[in-house]
Chains A and B, each alone.
Chain A
Amino acid sequence: MGIYIEGLTKAYGKKRGITDINIHLPEGGLTAIVGPSGCGKTTLLRTLAGFHTADEGRILFGSRDVTRISPQGRKAAMVFQHYALWPHMTVADNVGYGLKLQKVPAKERERRVREVLERVEIDTSDIGTRYPQHYSGGQQQRIALARALVVQPEVLLLDEPLSNLDAKVRQRLRIGIRSIQQSFGITAVYVTHDQEEALSMADYVILMNDGKVEQAGTPEEIYRKPSTYFTAQFLGESHTLTLKYQGKLQRLVLRSGDALVTPVVDERGTNAETQERSIAHEEVIEEDGSWVMEGEIRHHLFMGSYYRYMVDIQGQSMFVDDDRPLKPGSCKVTIPTEKAYWFDI
């Protein structure tokens, strides 16, 4: 089962659309579609929903070809960024709307509405009289989720559902949405611009760039084995350094948390002056399974549980985290080879 997308193309006028998308989304899993704005992730989601008709290609939900089916007929439900809860209907009517359309009898409708609202942790005592506006943003999104789930769709589509909420609520709801999705076992497609959100929530991640799939895989796969420069620098807190290795200029992508910084001390035990170098400072050398570079600690930021150092390497700056307090001055930056990603320029 799952979702199969074959050769999907949708042009979108002046905005960039999507071109030749070929992916398989795992059944019962949460697939995140992530990328910078304009990459086509929303176009892809809306084409999956049926709001756009594909120019070319096919979409299969399991074995059903839904490419030419209207949104009403796809058996998919959607959660929107601004909740899209109807202001003129009570919470009960909002959530029960889909069931009413399915001609579910009133008593059973009420029961199922209560059940699903309890699963998303909304108090059901006054849903028949309260309106969505009386709830907080996080609660409204949970109600919207309930409305989508109660009709037992085959696919759950989420369009940046947490982008409208503040940071703390977002953190909590990430876990909430993830656990609900898992407990329902529903195939979910989750669009977000936040790569941290995608990596932390998803079973499968699709990174998009300029209308195409840049790379797809599990979060660990695409984080640790980026196939392109774009992927490497998009995920995590990354830095790109243009450095010479064995005479050739290349791009090195590394992440703040992966690098180590070692101050260079002289015989007196104090930091050496900038002028003294032991390594030809233009080169990067490999040493004991790590890449080593010469640099200079310029500034630091106190982050609470650690320090963040701004290190200058050949005129380019990057951040390195460390829990020791270090003074400005010469240093060596090392990074394990498997956590350093080299790309041609």
Chain B
Amino acid sequence: MRRINAFSLTLKQQLAGAAIAAPALTVVTLLFVYPFLRSLQSSFRSQEGVWTLDNYSEALSIYGGDYLYTLWICGVSLLALIIITATIGGLLRLGVYPLLEFIFKIPLFVPFVVVGHAMRVFLAPHGTLNSALSITGMFNPDTLPSFAFSSLGLVAALVWKNLGIGLLLMLGAFRSVNESMLEAARGMGAGKLKLIWHFLVPMNKGSVGVMAVLTFTSMLGSFSIPAMIGNAGGSQMIMMDLYHQIVYQQNYGVANAIGVLTYIASLGAAIYYLKGVTKK
């Protein structure tokens, strides 16, 4: 903290700070912020370089359905995720289930692509789930539905992968709730489920919100999972359409239009989160 005079100290410190921040900031600015802005720009330009909204109208007309489908899948997955993690989180908060926490941390450490493949293999028409069910003899093997290449497979994979982070966030929030508040509720006869849904979750709306935003945007932008699970015709997850436009059509205009539409959805979630944080 050697000071020569007040002015050079600030300047020297500022330069040092800038030098320390430079490498990391350059990487992100150059390789994310800049391309991000370019994608915005590119979405408004046609193949010839003219400013236009055609990309958007094309994207919406071809992929409007897929866009809605993606939002729908992510919404359903998020709901399922919240229900499962709140229940498990609540149980872990209210009781002792030694191995449970460990079990649910496993999805954190399994790569996205592996989850996709595992779900496919698990839920395929001739997959292990159906094999297991057929062992029990309760089901006729040939009539078992094929989950893998369908919406349910996507939802299952998306929910599964996010169980780890979801539970961690929920549990973290639940554990910060004062025991005496729960005891008061228990004293009035609230059972475990009531405690979770009438007390723990409402008391932690902020954390639930953060978790919801983080996982929704992650699911929305998910590429590896739809890539692995795919879909036998019918609606696709929007990222697959984007990939198709880039690799097979080389149409960056439309691809970026699709991208911008997903940014908007993610942004909505991010704004909600920031509002929540700045309210504090």
**A residues lining the B interface (CB < 8 Å):** 50-51, 53, 68, 70-73
Contact = CB atoms under 8 A, between A and B. Distances in A.
Contacts of A71: 1
Given A53-B9, A68-B5, 8 more contacts: A50-B1, A51-B1, A53-B3, A53-B6, A68-B3, A68-B4, A70-B1, A70-B2
Interface residues of B, number: 7
A130 B4 CA distance: 41
B8 to A, nearest CB: 12
Contacts, number: 14
Contacts of B9: 53
Contacts of A50: 1
Contacts of A53: 3, 6, 9
B3 A72 contact: no
Nearest to B6: A53
8 contacts: A50-B1, A51-B1, A68-B4, A68-B5, A70-B1, A70-B3, A71-B1, A72-B1
Contacts of A73: 2
Nearest to B4: A68
Nearest to B5: A68
A299 to B, nearest CB: 34
Contacts of B3: 53, 68, 70
A196 B1 CA distance: 36
Interface in B1-43: 1-6, 9
Closest 8 A-B residue pairs measured CB to CB? A70-B1, A70-B2, A68-B3, A53-B3, A71-B1, A50-B1, A70-B3, A53-B6
Interface in B159-213: none
Interface of B: 1-6, 9
Nearest to A68: B3
A245 B1 CA distance: 58
Nearest to A70: B1
Contacts of B6: 53
A72 B5 CA distance: 17
A70 B9 CA distance: 12
A78 to B, nearest CB: 14
A53 B4 CA distance: 11
Contacts of B5: 68
B149 to A, nearest CB: 55
A73 B3 CA distance: 11
A23 to B, nearest CB: 23
Contacts of A72: 1
A51 B1 CA distance: 8
Contacts of B2: 70, 73
B218 to A, nearest CB: 37
Contacts of A70: 1-3
Contacts of A68: 3-5
Q: Which of A53, A71, A72, A73 has the most CB of B within 10 A?
A: A53
B105 to A, nearest CB: 28
Nearest to A72: B1
Nearest to B2: A70
A29 B254 CA distance: 80
A200 B170 CA distance: 52
A72 B2 CA distance: 9
A53 B3 CA distance: 8
A68 B3 CA distance: 6
A48 to B, nearest CB: 14
B69 to A, nearest CB: 52
B13 to A, nearest CB: 12
A50 B1 CA distance: 8
Q: Which of B3, B4, B5 has the most CB of A within 10 A?
A: B3
A44 to B, nearest CB: 18
Nearest to A50: B1
A34 B6 CA distance: 30
In this complex, the member of B1, B5, B6, B9 whose beta carbon has the largest number of chain A beta carbons within 10 angstroms is: B1
B95 to A, nearest CB: 32
A68 B4 CA distance: 7
A93 B81 CA distance: 51
A68 B1 CA distance: 10
B221 to A, nearest CB: 41
Contacts of A51: 1
A71 B3 CA distance: 10
Nearest to A55: B6
A50 B9 CA distance: 14
Nearest to A73: B2
A261 B5 CA distance: 62
Nearest to B1: A70
A13 to B, nearest CB: 15
A53 B1 CA distance: 10
Nearest to A53: B3
A336 to B, nearest CB: 52
A68 B7 CA distance: 13
Nearest to A67: B3
